[in-house]
Chains A and B, each alone.
Chain A
Amino acid sequence: MAAAALAASGWRRLRLQLLQLQLRVAPLVARALLSAGPQWRTRQPIPQPFSTAADQATFDTISRFKERPWEYLESEEYIERYGSQPVWADYRRNHKGAIPPQKTRKTCIRGDKISGNPCPICRDPKIEVDHRNVKLLEQFICSHTGIPYHPTRTGVCMKQFKKLTTAIQDAKDNGLLRFAVPRVEVRLEDYCGSHAAVGKTPPPARVGDEPWYSWYQWQQPPEKEIARIRQMYKPFLKETPTAAAAPSETAGLPK
């Protein structure tokens, strides 16, 4: 009996909720149906002043922070929004179940579209991941171990995480970020420079303008060789061997 009564009350509540929903939705639907025509005719023009101080201020700050992103972390706007906590402190990912997927989304911004619930870096366009703003990078590194936090902890998208890792490495390379230097044992090697591989090797003795290899220059072949070849090609030689011996030889052979 009680269960039936409960079930009945449950159904009544549902019906009441549905009615309320219909009441709320009806005018919206009516408006949509009325304004089914071209949107630009029915829409009222929004009165906008030509230029206010607020517009100028926002334009100045965005372009200023593009070149010097570390200044934003000192500004009042930043302190008001984040206080002394890191930028990822109040961010919560939306996912099914208790255990989050071990990879965050690939990127929050694709072209002009921004996804719902963007990551802590993408949701604030003034925050720029650069190897020079060390204060921001330090927020993403554990202060006890010196290891960068995993993206599942901070909530940043994979594209920003890659930018962060490269920026952290660049900052360490340029000496802006402190890190623990690994200890290397001192090797007591023989640093002598007397071996031929690293010492002086005098070039081989050459006389003046001599070429490096003897065959770079024309060399007179030995007479035996000339005689042998003449013997071989005797039937094809045009001039008589006795009359024009010297000139014909020098003319025929290459210079």
Chain B
Amino acid sequence: MAPGPRRGSACEQAFYDGISGCWQPSGVSTTAEDIRTKIKDYKIPFDSHFPNQNETRNCWLNYLDFHHCEKAMTTSEGGDVSMCEWYQRVYKSLCPVSWVSAWDDGRAEGAFPGKI
């Protein structure tokens, strides 16, 4: 169950709040500034979808979500890739660098196991 905006949605009104694990009501959009405040000092806040010590799934799903979001924003009209920044910050912070580079290479070669 991936957190974050639904695939293919415009995402311009509601924004997923990673902290409480629930949708913010429309009209309360989190800006880039807020993101920076929330993950000051590179601390990713607690996500209740991943309560345990093992962060593998957290890393994996945020990596997937960023790329889903990026694909949706770039292929739809009026899509704004900056909306995807949250996921990118989370995965870049959480995921081992070697995994990220292996996955990036995999995506380039068509060998990435996840569906994007």
On whether the two chains bind one another, the answer is: no
B residues with CB within 8 A of A? none
